[in-house]
Amino acid sequence: MAKRAMMEVVDQDPVASLRILFGRLLEDAEIGAVLVAQHLNKGGVPMPALVTDPERFEYADPLAPAFPINAAKIVSRLSRRPAGETVAAVLRPCEIRAFIELVKLKQGNMHDVLLLGIDCPGAFGNTDYARYVEGNGSRSSVDFLTAAIRGKTSTEDGLDISPACKACEHPVPENADVIIGMLGVDVKSSLFLYAGTPRGEELLSKLNFSEIREPEDRRSAVVELLERRIAYRDRMFEKTTEATADLEKLTAYLANCVNCYNCRVACPVCYCKECVFLTDVFDHEPAQYLRWARRKGILKMPSDTIFYHLTRLAHMSTACVGCGQCSNACPNNIPVMELFRTIAACTQRAFGYEAGRSADDEPPLSAFREREFSEVTGGKD
């Protein structure tokens, strides 16, 4: 049985208690640095920060309902070559799953990274988070967390967590070294810690946490949350499938795309050093645009928006973890996440694959399976 422990919360403030825990990682657990979301300049959206001084966690806030960046790419940068020290990365479940995909794509390494995963009740989009914090003061993270655990993620003035979070069926970071559990727990009195790997067990032993049983309400709380999210996800899939059922509908769905490529930059598993859409392959001659325009009498500009998204879908649907950063980065509020998640669900189901589940799973198309897709090839099962 994996090691389980309960961490006492100080002054009914789980954020402050986690800051103490992070300081102990540097002082007592032989961790070289901690990567954690932190309010920079005493305010604003919390951004990933690499902390090496135990006294510099005063603005760390991994429980803030904000998600301005998927930190998987940052962990990738910190781990792609040996650093000589272990970095503890405090991540959301979708960030861990994205990092696992990057490891399988040879963009990172798990040897020098200790993954601390936190139960995720969801997060607001960037602009909504700014509005939420403005009206909720310094305890906004704790206020949101306690409400979200009870199933209330929307506010009285209409703010709600992002659609990606509503549709996420992975609120618990099961593939982390240490899971910081909050579902089914009174977070103002204690936090539930349990090891997901032998490295996690070693860490909890170093920190001298006494072993306990899993909280009685945790399992039912997770199941209840999953039921709500899966129901939302399935409705989203149905709606998006109908909205993009043919080329005409897909064109209307993506009509506001301006080829800013923000979704590509924000995607944690889109890792190419040079994107084909930034090369001269799509630097068409003026005469070519005129020829295209003459075919139908009109040509939308920029002209390659549909092809861009179809190419991204072909490249990334097997690795998509549904974090929603593509939609979060879109300046024109195109529901990119809904499209990618819908297609990714079909693609990954066809390959019997789940992105980010395990570093031991071989990515689709990376290994030959003799009887794969026998209904297409005509081979026997």
What would the pLDDT profile of 188-243 be if each residue is shown by its tens digit? Answer: 999 999 999 999 999 998 888 877 888 888 999 999 999 999 999 999 999 999 99
Distance CA 173, CA 348 (A): 20
- Better-scored residue on pLDDT, 190 or 272: 190
Q: Token digits for 233?
A: 């996800």
What would the pLDDT profile of 67-87 be if each residue is shown by its tens digit? Answer: 999 999 999 999 988 888 999
pLDDT at 1 over 50: no
Q: Token digits for 290?
A: 């005129």
The percentage of the chain sitting over the pLDDT mark of 90, rounded to a whole number, equals: 62
Distance of CA 153 to the CA centre of its chain: 18
Q: Is the pTM of this model over 0.95?
A: no
- Better-scored residue on pLDDT, 119 or 283: 119
How confident is the model at residue 50, as a pLDDT? 96
How confident is the model at residue 49, as a pLDDT? 95
Q: Which distant-in-sequence residues (6+ apart) come within 8 Å of 235 by Cβ?
A: none
What would the pLDDT profile of 293-325 be if each residue is shown by its tens digit? Answer: 998 898 888 888 898 999 999 988 999 999 999
1 neighbors 212 (Cβ within 8 angstroms): no
What would the pLDDT profile of 165-180 be if each residue is shown by its tens digit? Answer: 999 999 999 899 999 9
Q: Where exactly are the structural domains of the chain?
A: 4-228, 246-377
pLDDT at 379 over 80: no
Query: With helix as H, strand as E and coil as C, how does the chain read?
Result: CCCEEEEECHHHCHHHHHHHHHHHHHHHCCCCEEEEEECHHHCCCCEEEEECCHHHCCCECCCCCECCCCCHHHHHHHHCCCCCCCEEEEECHHHHHHHHHHHHCCCCCCCCEEEEEECCCCCECHHHHHHHHHCCHHHHHHHHHHHHHCCCCCCCCCCCCCHHHHCCCCCCCCCCCEEEECCCCCCCCEEEEEECCHHHHHHHHHCCCCECCCCCCHHHHHHHHHHHHHHHHHHHHHHHHHHCCCHHHHHHHCCCCCCCCHHHHHCCCCCCCCCHHHCHHHCCCHHHHHHHHHHHCCCCCCCCHHHHHHHHHHHHCCCCCCCCHHHHHCCCCCCHHHHHHHHHHHHHHHHCCCCCCCCCCCCCCCCCCCCCCHHHHCCCC
Looking up tokens 């009685």, which residue turns up? Answer: 216
Q: What is the mean pLDDT of residues 126-155?
A: 82
pLDDT at 381 over 70: no
